[in-house]
Amino acid sequence: MRRLRLVNKRVYLRVPQMGDWREWAELRHISREFLTPWEPTWSSDSLDKSSFRDKLRVYWLDWRQGMSYSFYAFSRETDELLGGITIGNVRRGAAHMGTIGYWMGEPYSGKGYMTEILSSALDYAFEELALHRLEAACLEHNEASKTVLRKVGFVEEGRARGYLRINALWQDHITFGLLRNDSRLSAKGWIESKH
């Protein structure tokens, strides 16, 4: 788990580590105003080292139990932290599915990094975890997120009322889905549908 790296053209993903705390806290701090409209309300201690340590414990426990797989994304050129992505809420049995969630630091937004981050995570979810379906959701007015989801192959499926509590309010979301055999953007290039 700690040695795992998912590599794309300009980015690589790896499991978060305690040594990431300072850079993570700084990036989240300078991006707070940018991220607040899209995320759950931040607690007063959300950037503290102890909160980060608790977050890592949850990540590692979820990983070991096969429930969730969290990664931080870094620039291959500078090794700077760009953002994070999670393949979460993994269900096996008849479902074999999970949910994608992600965030990007404001200085790196709009530069195409999330397309590469998402495509690398999709490869891991479908090829390594052998999931059949991935779901994602974003706020109705989050045009950037809708665009990047469509770009990597997700298909808009509907609207979920009061889906998540974002910025202290239960808000409707647009839902997206992607099947393992759908056409999608991979770290290796575009993969055509196997239907």
pTM of the model: 0.95
Q: How far is CA 5 from the centre of its chain?
A: 15
φ, ψ for residue 114 (rounded to 5)? -65, -30
What amino acid is encoded at 114 in this protein? M
Q: Nearest CA to 81 among 34, 117, 121, 56?
A: 117
The pLDDT score that the predictor gives to residue 195 is 64
Q: What is the dihedral of CA 68, 91, 129, 83, to 10 degrees?
A: -30
Q: Give CA–CA dist 23/121, Å, rounded.
A: 22
The model's pLDDT over 92-104, given as tens digits with 9 standing for 90+, comes to 999 999 999 999 9
Q: Give CA–CA dist 61/81, Å, rounded.
A: 23
The pLDDT score that the predictor gives to residue 9 is 95
The model's pLDDT over 13-64, given as tens digits with 9 standing for 90+, comes to 999 999 999 999 999 999 999 999 999 888 899 999 999 999 999 999 999 9
